[in-house]
Amino acid sequence: MLNFCVGPVMSSEEVLKVGGEQVPYFRTPEFSKVMLENEKMVREFAKADEDSRVVFLTGSGTAAMEAAVINTLCEEDKAIVVNGGSFGDRFEKLLKIHKIPHDAIRLEAGHPLTAEDLAPFEGKGYTAFLVNVDETSTGVLYDMEMISDFTKRNGIFLIADAVSAFLTDPFEMKKWNVGVMLTGSQKALACAPGVSLLVLSKEAQERIERIDCGCMYLNLKDALKNGERGQTPFTPAVGTLLQIHARLKSIEAKGGVDAELEHADQMAKYFRSKLAGFPFEIFSQSPANGVTSLRMTNGQSAYDVFTILKDEYGIWVCPNGGELRDKVFRVGHMGDLHEKDYDILMNALNDLTKRGFWKEG
Ligand SMILES: *Cc1c(COP(=O)(O)O)cnc(C)c1O
Q: What's the CA-to-centroid distance between 12 and ligand 1, angstroms?
A: 21
In a domain, 323, yes or no: yes
Same domain flag for 238 and 143: yes
The verdict on residue 153 lying in a domain is yes
* Residue range of the domain that includes 347: 256-354
Does residue 7 form part of some domain?
Answer: no
Residue 116, domain member (yes or no): yes
- From 217, 238, 253, the end of a domain falls on 253
pTM attached to this predicted model? 0.97
pLDDT value at residue 154: 98
pLDDT at residue 360 in the model: 86
Pocket flag, ligand 1, residue 59 (CB < 6 Å): no
Q: Are residues 243 and 268 in the same domain?
A: no
Considering 253, 284, 302, which residue would you say is the last residue of a domain?
Answer: 253
Domain total for the chain?
2
**Ligand 1 atom nearest to 187, measured from its CA:** 1
Helices 61-72 and 202-210: angle between axes, nearest 10 degrees = 70
Q: Whose CA is nearest to atom 10 of ligand 1?
A: 61
Residues 234 and 210 in one domain: yes
Mean pLDDT by 10 residues, the chain (361 residues): 96 98 98 98 98 98 98 98 98 98 98 98 98 98 98 98 98 98 98 98 98 97 98 98 98 96 98 97 98 97 98 97 95 98 98 95 74
Same-domain status, 216 and 148: yes
Same domain, 241 and 275: no
Same domain, 86 and 232: yes
Q: Are residues 109 and 240 in the same domain?
A: yes
Are 25 and 99 contained in the same domain? yes
Q: Tell me, yes or no, whether 154 and 87 share the same domain.
A: yes
Same-domain check for residues 110 and 164: yes
Single out the residue in 253, 277, 310 at which a domain terminates. 253
Q: Report the C-alpha gap between 184 and 194 in whole angstroms.
A: 8
Distance CA 301, CA 327 (A): 6
pLDDT of residue 361: 74
- Is 136 near ligand 1, meaning CB less than 6 Å away? yes
Does ligand 1 lie within 6 Å of residue 61's CB atom?
Answer: yes
Rg (CA), the chain: 20
Query: In the chain, where does DSSP find H-type helix?
Result: 13-19, 29-45, 61-72, 86-97, 115-118, 144-153, 202-210, 220-227, 238-253, 256-272, 302-313, 339-354
Using DSSP, state whether 281 is helix, strand or coil: strand
Nearest CA, atom 2, ligand 1: 163
Q: How far is the CA of 67 from the centre of ligand 1 (A)?
A: 13
Domain shared by 110 and 184, yes or no: yes
Number of neighbours of residue 120 by Cβ within 10 angstroms: 9
Specify if 4 maps to a domain. no
Neighbours of 223 (CB within 10 A): 25
Residue 8 lies in a domain: no
- Rounded to the nearest angstrom, the gap between the alpha carbon of residue 72 and the centroid of all alpha carbons in its chain is 19
DSSP line for 88-148: HHHHHHHHHHTT--EEEEE--TTPPP-HHHHGGGTTS---EEEEESEETTTTEEP-HHHHH
Asked if residue 5 belongs to a domain, the reply is no
Q: Is the CB of 161 under 6 A from ligand 1?
A: yes
Residues 18 and 51 in one domain: yes
